[in-house]
Amino acid sequence: MARDNIYDLIISELILRVETLTSTVTAPNILLSSTLPGNTVAEGFNGNTVFTSTVVNIPSGYSIQTNSHVITYPVALPVSTVGSVDAMTGPSVNVILGAAGSTFTVNTTVTLEHLTSPDIILNGSFVITSVLPIYYGVKAYSVSPDTTGLSTISSSSVNFQMVSSILGRLYIVAPVALPLVVSVVDQNGLVYSVEDEFTVSVIGTLRYYILNHDTQLTGTDTKIFTILY
């Protein structure tokens, strides 16, 4: 009997956990996303992105209240995007951020209404934060390297892409706070070992990785590179 009670308790606990998980997964929610690859950008970022707000898991019997689905942007940008559908995309928005730590916040809200039950109000947000950059690009070799003419990505990113370039050295410049780069891999799987193929130096708060030989990117296809730490 005691053993049966233990089994009953275990089964009851498992059922409760499944019901809790199911409830969490299917709860109504509002999700805000952007066309940026993530929610961090390099400091000084100035670029366009599009935000999409999506209402998921609308309970049975509920519907979106007319014009209650609203995406709100920071001051001086489009006042808001308003609609009554579950998936709503706003216009292209210019995102400008300053020094590391600057933020750009977009908010979204929707009201779900029911004929006999209380309304459900959902809120969400998408915060873009500027962080220290990683610089990259191909330019002429210099005995006194700097970041002039290089492009940037967020220091939390590991991928950068280029199309064509002049004849020169591949530069990757990262904050010294980041781990040491071990290698760089292109989209074809070719591995550039830092130990074997790069000269590494530290200037101020930046660590420079400079390819030991000239290279040149040609053609119109996009070349994707991955940084491995």
Secondary structure string (H, E, C) spanning 52-63: EEEEECCCCCCE
> Where residue 11 falls among pLDDT bands split at 50, 70, 90?
very low
Question: In this model, does residue 2 exceed pLDDT 70?
Answer: no
pLDDT score, position 24? 47
Position 186 confidence tier, pLDDT thresholds 50, 70, 90: very high
Q: What is the pLDDT of residue 122?
A: 98
Whether the CB-CB separation of 150 and 206 falls below 8 Å is answered with no
What CA–CA distance (Å, rounded) separates 157 from 222? 17
For domain 28-131, which architecture applies? Answer: Sandwich (2.60)
Q: Provide DSSP, the chain.
A: -HHHHHHHHHHHHHHHHHHHHHHHHHS-EEEEEESSSSSEEETT-EEEEEEEEEEE-PPTT-EEPTT-EEEE--TTS--EEEESSSEEEEEEEEEE--STT-EEEEEEEEEEE-SSS--EEEEEEEEEEEE-EEEEEEE---SS---TT-EEEETT--EEEE----SBEEEEEEETTSPPP-EEEETT--EEEHHHHEEEEEETTEEEEEESS-B---SSSPEEEEEE-
Q: Can you read off the two tokens belonging to residue 174?
A: 């990262």
Quick one: pLDDT at residue 4?
52
* Single-letter residue type at 90: G
pLDDT level of residue 79 (50, 70, 90 thresholds): confident
Q: In the structure encoding, which two tokens stand for residue 21, read together?
A: 């998980």
Across all residues in the chain, what is the average pLDDT? 90
| pLDDT value at 7 more than 60 | no
Q: Is the pLDDT of residue 15 over 60?
A: no
Tokens standing for residue 179? 């781990």
- 135: closest CA among 104, 169, 167, 101? 169
What is the residue type of 43? E
| Nearest one of 227, 145, 146 to 191, comparing CA atoms | 227
d(CA 171, CA 201): 12
Q: Residues of the chain with pLDDT > 90: what percent?
A: 85
Q: In whole angstroms, what is the distance from residue 35 CA to residue 50 CA? A: 6
> Torsion angle of alpha carbons 183, 185, 191, 195, nearest 10°?
-10
pLDDT of 12 strictly over 50? no
Q: What is the pLDDT of residues 54-67, one digit of tens each?
A: 999 999 999 999 99
User: Poorest-confidence range of 65-79, 135-149, 199-213?
Assistant: 65-79
Q: How confident is the model at residue 25, as a pLDDT? A: 54
